[in-house]
Copies of this chain bind each other. A is one copy, B any other.
Amino acid sequence: MQAPETFPNQDDEAGLQLNADGSLRHLLTLKGLDRTLLVQLLDDAQRFVSPIGEAAARSQSLAGRTVANLFFEPSTRTRASFDLAGKRLGADVLNLDVNTSSRKKGESILDMIYTLQAMRVDIMVVRDASVGVPAYIARHVSDYVSILNAGEADVSHPTQGLLDLLTIRQHKKRFDELTVTIVGDIAHSRVARSTAQGLHTLGVGELRLVSPPPLAPDPGEMPYACLLDNLDEGLRDADVVMALRIQRERIGSLDGIPGIDEYFANYGISRERMRIAAPDAIVMHPGPMNRGIEIESALADSPASVITQQVANGVAVRMAVLEHVSKSMTWQ
């Protein structure tokens, strides 16, 4: 009998993604990518950012390539962002929505991957709710295929991390003088993990992670970050404040936080609350937002908010990553 598939999150994941010359073969995690490579990706992405009112950036650098979006978890935004990034580089894009339940009863994930590989898919963009799936796939594909992680359980969402870095860099020039505060359900957030990792590599001045105690990460996980449960303490003089989406169901399980109103009162960011941050602080959110829960609606629409700019940068970052892995492909 066929054993259930398991996806061990082995320690070579970070190394797995680099070619011998240090270029990117897969993008699985921001862990293990050095400052030079991150800066190069941000510089490349910046070239794909066009001013509002001008045409979207395009090229034909992926003409003749095939990109498959393989989403085992539902997604509208990230999928649309990768879809447009691929099309604007001239690639053929194949969108496949495969829910996890059908995967379990049907063919193994590797057989699905081998099938796409045989169809000459060059780049597979993978989202999955299980830890280790992108790396597991990356270990098994042929030399001619790149894997991009588009969201992996609670642990990793590297293109989101890159777009956050790019957005911060567009507003704040030096990372080493910055205080960045991420607020909310850190424990379950792949966004927080990838963004924190990238900030750490770029030498951020101070990184604060603010959450209700049950939603704090393991203290040893991000030793470079300062873990807090008091929002005002976290916001004080912060240059960048990022709110995370919280699943409403989780709020009920928090001690002393019986409902949404109390969550907002304690961990929601608002214009009022932001007065304690630096005067020119920017406000971020990975979306989709629960307005009135983790972020005040008026703050999300205020001049301090760079939330839609994050979305715009998302397409640019994905174009940069697609182009980068494509350039290092053997058959080019």
Contacts and interface: CB of A to CB of B under 8 A. Distances in A.
A290 interface: yes
Contacts of A111: 287-289, 291
Contacts of A66: 56, 84
A108 B77 CA distance: 13
- Copies of this chain in its oligomeric complex: 3
A81 interface: yes
Interface residues of A, number: 58
B115 A311 contact: yes
A120 B80 contact: no
Interface in A108-167: 108, 111-112, 114-120, 142-144
A308 interface: yes
A327 interface: no
A251 interface: no
A309 interface: yes
A119 B315 contact: yes
Contact of A311 (B119, B142, B287): B119
A25 to B, nearest CB: 15
Contacts of A94: 80, 83-84
Given A1-B292, A54-B331, A83-B94, 14 more contacts: A52-B144, A55-B331, A56-B66, A56-B120, A77-B115, A80-B96, A84-B94, A88-B92, A108-B291, A117-B308, A118-B309, A118-B312, A119-B311, A119-B315
